Structure 1
Amino acid sequence: MIKSAFEYLVGLGNTRIETIGDQKFATQPLHPVKMATPATILVHSLSGLVEYLQSEFDGPDSLMVHVNSPTEVECFSNFNRDFARNRLIKAQAMLPEFSFERWLDPESFNIKLQSCFVPNFDREVMLKVVGNIKEDAVKTYGDDGVSQTVTAKTGVATMEQVVVPNPVVLAPYRTFVEVEQPASEFIFRMQSGPKCALFEADGGAWKLKAMQSIKDYLHVALDKEVDAGRLVIIA
């Protein structure tokens, strides 16, 4: 047993490459020694990404900046001998949380409208409707499949049937704050309880707008690096 063990250990150091037909085989398993790649720096703003690239902290090598999504941008180098890239830095947007297609009570919905959406005309109309609903009358609302009405306070002591705005154009905070938040259409619905919910109605087109806005921002902020051929920005 000891002799066979020694023969095995000696055999480990005698790896050969044999050719059988058109195929090459190794007499021992081989494992590639991969080149090391750096840990990715994480930032939460486009300005942080721009400052890093302008500093040339890790050298002036040619880099590519890829806008992966409305909330993520990463920068990487050419591939190395292992066809792996150095992913140097990634920017991930920090955004307030809002759940679409989820029913909320009027108070919670009101707070989310004010904290998670850019002020505009439709947002103000919705705030007035949601903020003045009479809880004891919400169960009696009309619905023809598209429009809805609720009983709401319209004056000091006046109650009227108020039409619920639908669809509405809103701009939630859903991309980096350095660029304009893309506005899109939403379906605003209410149900007895009372409860309110928003449903996206643009098929995700806002994502393309946001990504193009990020690309335009980076092109302006990094125009010298792009003109010098050191950076390529894609979306």
Structure 2
Amino acid sequence: MDRSAIEKIVELGAPNIHVEGGYTYSDKELNVIEGPKVPTLTFHTLEGLVYTLLAEQAEFNGPLLIDVNDEATVKVFSAISLNDRQREVPYLVRAELVSIPFNQRLDYETMMITLKSKFVETPELLELVKLLGTITEENSAQLSDDGFTQTVVVRKGIALKDNKAVNPIVNLKPYRTFNEVEQPESQFLLRLSEGGNVALYEADGGAWKLQARRNVADYLKSALADLIEAGRVIVVE
């Protein structure tokens, strides 16, 4: 019998288990047979998750852990299985968010449409829209001729009709998390440039993400208060 045949017989044999110093050792790799798990059900609203949890939470053996992963994602985990030490992920919520062109120059008409369709209407937003409505693109030349010399003055760029001062920092509420919760307010740097271009640069260092997660967690804690009090649901952020 050759060596490969002997090694194959050894491989097919039962593993040798040895306990030493409180640790269990094996001469073969052992794999845990996982128990059956439910497929993940995906939602796009927090309201859909709440209704489903109220209807189905009794089907799970232990408390469900709701993790507000980020401003647009919520994951629900089951309790740890006693058989394979794994968790199910029965529910997942992903917000359907609009794309907002921050940190880039837009013509003022596109910026006006963006502000009106992708931001919560607030007094400061209305003031900004009113300000941008006074923008004119200036591209003119004035000729002066006294019979001996000619002078030409060329003006290019953008101007404000009412000659208003522009506040460079604005506080706005873009739609950046689930619609069921209050959108977090954050600061933006407003820049006007030649060619009638306008840009909004994020200026809060990403602090809005923390507030968004807190708003989502607060919504779930309120909507699932009875299940939380009964120890059937835990909400973390």
Separation of aligned partners in 2, 1:223 and 1:57: 13
The alpha carbon displacement at 1:205 in A equals 2.1
- Residue number in structure 1 paired with 2:39: 39
Provide the identity percentage: 32
Q: How many residues align?
A: 220
Aligned equivalent of 1:151, options 132, 149, 159: 159
Aligned equivalent of 2:122, options 106, 120, 137: 120
Q: Name stretches of at least 5 consecutive residues in structure 1 with no aligned partner.
A: 142-149, 154-159
Aligned CA RMSD, in angstroms, stands at 2.7
Separation of aligned partners in 1, 2:18 and 2:121: 72
Please tell me the residue identity of whatever aligns with 1:132.
Answer: T
Aligned equivalent of 1:219, options 221, 226, 234: 221
User: Which has the larger displacement, 62-71 or 14-23?
Assistant: 14-23
Aligned equivalent of 2:190, options 183, 188, 191: 188
The alpha carbon displacement at 1:227 in A equals 1.2
Helix, strand or coil: the match of 2:39? coil
1:42-191 superposed matches below 5 A: 42-56=42-56, 59-61=59-61, 62-80=63-81, 81-137=83-139, 150-153=158-161, 160-191=162-193
- Residue number in structure 1 paired with 2:15: 16
User: Which has the larger displacement, 117-126 or 35-44?
Assistant: 35-44
Separation of aligned partners in 2, 1:9 and 1:205: 59
Separation of aligned partners in 2, 1:211 and 1:27: 47
Larger Rg: 2
Please tell me the residue identity of whatever aligns with 2:40.
Answer: T
Helix, strand or coil: the match of 2:195? coil
Please tell me the residue identity of whatever aligns with 2:111.
Answer: F
Say if 1:70 and 1:175, in contact at 8 Å, map to a contact too. yes
Separation of aligned partners in 1, 2:185 and 2:173: 4
Say if 1:17 and 1:24, in contact at 8 Å, map to a contact too. no
Deviating runs (4+, > 4 A) in structure 1? Answer: 3-9, 18-29, 137-141
